[in-house]
Structure 1
Amino acid sequence: MKKIFSIVLCLVMLASLLTLASCGKKEYKIAVVTDVGTLMDKGFNQGTWEGAKAYAEANKISYKYYQPSGGSDADDNSRVEAMQSAIDNGAEIIVAPGFLQATAMRTVAKANPNVKFIFVDGWSLTDSTDDKGNDNGKPLQNVTAIVYKEEESGFLAGYAAVMEGYTKLGFTGGGGGSNPACNRFGYGFVQGAEAAAKEKNVNVTVKYSYKYGENFSASSELQTQISGWYQNGTEVVFACGGSMFQSVKSAAGENANAKIIGVDVDQSNESDRVITSAVKGLSVSVEKVLGQYFDGKWDAELGAKTQNLGAADDATGLPTDTWSLKNFTVDQYKAVFEKIKKGEIAPKSDVPGNANNGDWLKGFEKVTVEFE
């Protein structure tokens, strides 16, 4: 009898230990899988992460970020691994910024239909693609997308720079000309410079390049290029590409009076050379979509849908809390912003899939684009 009791006691203790072990594994309901670059890149990854973190902490929901192995050279396999790790750790919704996430997200979303995915700067994915990689299958109901009208923020940055008095501008973009968001930022920037140049009746030159930014990383080559621009008269450079900002910042530090325009988030605290930033509401929009999901609105409002956010949603623009421009005032800015918000000014967004050439940047009256 004692022997039977001992066996039963052991089984009870073993079951308790297994229960404790399973309870001891912490689960994270909200996951962020980063794009290339670092988490705290002062830009795209960071803005997305801060939105997820803010929502999670405000609503007492567990959260965690996952960075694909390989850093700036991360590939689809490492993204799949990161997403699967998030699911293994209990993620019920994954937020992934950057168009490079598409292939991995499609793979993981198909294999995990009960897990939801927010594709930031992406599109509504389908379960298959054609031989050119274009979606052509059935919409994935567990994926929703957020995109932004970056051309609006770019327009306002270019307009502000010229109205402030700068006539020799520069733009350095990430993604090697294949990133739609960077291309829209750049196109808007030139359009805004053109609009302001016409108002002031001045001629403007814009140095324009996608060199050394394919992986959105800082590099000595990019720093050398931008420093050369500054030395040859460029007054302000729009740094459009995550950690590329650090190279532009270093180049500006080598040249007296060189100025910078930041991107995605307000980067004025990164350098006193930043005159403004072309921002988009990354944090706010991620919080919004997470709120829709946890309020039970996925099927009605999110599944297989894309939200295109802009000035009308207060999701694009320039930051006014840290305004440092002297000749172009906040009130003047707000007047232009309202025109964009109402559709009275509508910057064009029709950028080519491969923008790494200057052919599509011709035809401006007051702006000359010098493509490198």
Structure 2
Amino acid sequence: MKKIISIALAVMLVATSLVGCAGDKDKGNTGDSGNKPIKGADITLITDKGNIDDKSFNQGSWEGVVEYATKEKIPHTYIKPEEATDSGYLAAIDLAVEGGAKVVVTPGYLFEVAIYDAQTKYPDVKFILLDGTPHTADYADFTIKENVASIMYAEEQSGYLAGYAAVKDGLTNLGFMGGMAVPAVQAFGYGYLQGAEDAAKELDLPDGAIKSIYHYTGNFEENDTNKATAKTMYQEGMEVIFACGGSVGKSVMSAAKESQGKVIGVDVDQRYDSETVITSAMKGLSSSVMSVLDSIYKTDKWSDFGGKSTTFNATNEGVSLPTIVIGDEKADAFDRFEKFSKEEYETLFKSLENGEVEVKRTIEVKDPSGNATAEELTSQLNLKKVKVTTR
């Protein structure tokens, strides 16, 4: 990421703070903080490019903050920087700390450089960096200081669950639309193909029985181009598309609705956004945030997380497909599958949890962009049942 100097920062704030009386509801206010410090929040989350209701990374992380802080009656807020740059993120961190934040939560790899600087600038503040590791802008130094918890996720496992479920459900044409070929998105896609491969083997399908179109959009946006790409993939026979790119998912859902196609969501349960979403490859954003906050406020075990990277996976609520429908305890979260059941899912998940199934997270890609060729995917992921094409 480029370091851009001398920017003008305007920060838009939506605050949710708690009063100390038992039984009081979470109260909020909205406003434009300008360049003034935000006062009174012990925990501040700073969003990346997206919004707090992006149905993805920001929202999932914020929900963890809200749930924990509400339960423990801790004042909390979030800031959306207007400038999505290293300098812009650091300026937002400045505002949070000036306002009294003791804990700053930053969701996404875009904060890596800003947190690298902030960890030295604010040694008494604890930083929770989700999906990233602090480093210098030139990637020369990756020091994680004791006041930073670097939280990573086994996206390859979550993608594996989704690909396996799709094939077990009878789908044989699986599309993948990732945003940019960054490590997390790559891992989702590689796991998706491996899950499809293993399910096809269990079903004793012939080689090449599963067709997959694999594509990176080059952005994380909802736009007409991404919608058109998804629509073309459906027209070419893709029955389902794993939409793995933030707001790219909205474009895919729109195309699916017009094409009678299906969608696999990402990061959080996106079934509530569209009837086309059959399941979602989720990260345990909320649970991981709450675990780290608990180490600060209750258990005094910050040393379990501070100064290092911790990966959340199948063993510690780090990955999953949705197993409940929010607001309806009797509902079946697998009701949008034709065949795949919760019982099958639980058996599969157990195999990940106990290490019976190992999923490859990385492969060697020659292109500096990170975009793998069909040959690289096929050979390094050992695909036989899955015939993949890239574009």
| TM-score bracket for this pair, using the shorter chain length | 0.7 to 0.9
| Inter-partner Cα distance in structure 2 for 1:205 and 1:281 | 29
1:163 aligns with 2:168: yes
1:94-120 per-position Cα deviation (integer Å, ceiling 9, x unaligned): 010111101111112211111110010
Q: Which amino acid aligns with 2:67?
A: A
1:211 aligns with 2:214: no
Instruction: Determine if contact 2:334/2:340 at 8 Å carries over to the other structure.
Output: no
Partner of 1:118: 128
Partner of 1:13: none
> By how many angstroms is 1:90 displaced?
1.0
Structure 2 counterparts to residues 25-174 of structure 1, below 5 A: 26-70=39-83, 74-123=84-133, 125=134, 129=136, 132-137=138-143, 139-174=144-179
Partner of 1:248: 252
| Inter-partner Cα distance in structure 2 for 1:79 and 1:59 | 27
Instruction: Determine if contact 2:216/2:371 at 8 Å carries over to the other structure.
Output: yes
Question: Alignment partner of 1:307: what SS?
Answer: strand
1:308 aligns with 2:319: no
1:330 aligns with 2:303: no
> What TM-score do the two structures reach when normalised by structure 1?
0.86
| Inter-partner Cα distance in structure 2 for 1:47 and 1:357 | 29
| Inter-partner Cα distance in structure 2 for 1:44 and 1:84 | 22
Stretches of 4+ aligned residues off by more than 3 angstroms: 351-354
Q: Which amino acid aligns with 1:211?
A: T
How many aligned residue pairs are there? 335
> By how many angstroms is 1:134 displaced?
3.8
Q: Which amino acid aligns with 1:205?
A: K
Partner of 1:361: 377
Q: Which amino acid aligns with 1:309?
A: F
Partner of 1:183: 186
Instruction: Determine if contact 1:183/1:351 at 8 Å carries over to the other structure.
Output: no
Question: Alignment partner of 2:272: what SS?
Answer: helix
**Rg (Cα) greater in structure:** 1
Question: Alignment partner of 1:110: what SS?
Answer: helix
Identity, in percent, stands at 40
Question: Alignment partner of 1:95: what SS?
Answer: strand
Structure 1 alignment gaps of length 5 or more? 1-24
1:53-75 per-position Cα deviation (integer Å, ceiling 9, x unaligned): 111111111111111214xxx11
1:181-227 per-position Cα deviation (integer Å, ceiling 9, x unaligned): 11111100000011111122141111111124x2x121111000001
Instruction: Determine if contact 2:228/2:255 at 8 Å carries over to the other structure.
Output: yes
Partner of 1:280: 283
> By how many angstroms is 1:147 displaced?
0.8
Instruction: Determine if contact 1:311/1:317 at 8 Å carries over to the other structure.
Output: yes
Q: Tell which has more relative contact order, 1 or 2 (C-alpha 8 A, sep 6+).
A: 1
Rate the CA distance shift 1:132–1:81 in 2: closer, same or farther, 3 A: closer
Question: Alignment partner of 2:304: what SS?
Answer: helix
| Inter-partner Cα distance in structure 2 for 1:148 and 1:163 | 25
Instruction: Determine if contact 2:55/2:268 at 8 Å carries over to the other structure.
Output: yes
Instruction: Determine if contact 1:44/1:265 at 8 Å carries over to the other structure.
Output: yes
> What TM-score do the two structures reach when normalised by structure 2?
0.82
| Inter-partner Cα distance in structure 2 for 1:360 and 1:30 | 43
Which structure has greater strand proportion?
A: 2
RMSD: 1.7
Partner of 1:229: 233
| Inter-partner Cα distance in structure 2 for 1:198 and 1:134 | 43
| Inter-partner Cα distance in structure 2 for 1:183 and 1:360 | 13
| Inter-partner Cα distance in structure 2 for 1:244 and 1:103 | 25
Structure 2 counterparts to residues 1-20 of structure 1, below 5 A: none
Rate the CA distance shift 1:197–1:134 in 2: closer, same or farther, 3 A: farther
Which structure has greater helix proportion?
A: 1
> By how many angstroms is 1:297 displaced?
2.7
Instruction: Determine if contact 1:96/1:118 at 8 Å carries over to the other structure.
Output: yes
Instruction: Determine if contact 1:184/1:351 at 8 Å carries over to the other structure.
Output: no
Of 197, 206, 215, 1:194 maps to 197
